Structure 1
């Protein structure tokens, strides 16, 4: 599994509109082959900053399947106008995993 990570700095004052647009855009990405799930987290210290985490089966499911697919144009139209600066997207794979159990 691949984890896509992007810090999204949204134009201050447009957070509500961004969250609405992201709700609309979510169906576009979730319909993409290889999509395994996402989380959109809002920063407590900087309320106009979000962390997007998307799980993909393979790197190519994101970089080719989604980004070069037909839904990406609509995704871009809905969301890209909110970013300043434009986010850097990075991809991660597991190097070490640990879990804790509560007894």
Structure 2
């Protein structure tokens, strides 16, 4: 499983509207092949800062599947104007921490 992690900074004063629109946009990403789940977290220390975590079966489900889809076009139209600066997306895989197993790889 892959976790997409995005630190989002929403334009000042637009936080409430952003959360409303994010709820509206959520079914778009949830409908995609390889989608496992997502959550949006609001920062307690910095107003307008959010953390988006999306779980995908594999990296290509996000990069080739969602990003190349018409759903992404709608997602972009609904949400991208809220961000300043535009966020950087990163992908992570879980590290195996079981004793006697390699740390990297499956």
TM exceeds 0.5? yes
Match of residue 7 from structure 2: 7
Match of residue 71 from structure 2: 71
Aligned partner of residue 8 in structure 1, secondary structure: strand
Please report how far the alpha carbon of residue 97 of structure 1 lies from its aligned counterpart in structure 2 after TM superposition: 4.7
- Mind listing any 5+ residue stretches in structure 2 that lack a counterpart? 99-106
Bigger-Rg structure (1/2): 2
| RMSD over equivalenced CA pairs, Å | 1.1
Relative to the length of structure 1, the TM-score reads: 0.92
Q: Give distance in 2, aligned partners of 1:15 and 1:37.
A: 22
Please report how far the alpha carbon of residue 95 of structure 1 lies from its aligned counterpart in structure 2 after TM superposition: 1.2
Q: Give distance in 2, aligned partners of 1:25 and 1:83.
A: 15
User: Which string of whole-angstrom CA distances, capped at 9 and with x for unpartnered residues, describes residues 7-32 of structure 1?
Assistant: 00000100011001100110000000
Relative to the length of structure 2, the TM-score reads: 0.89
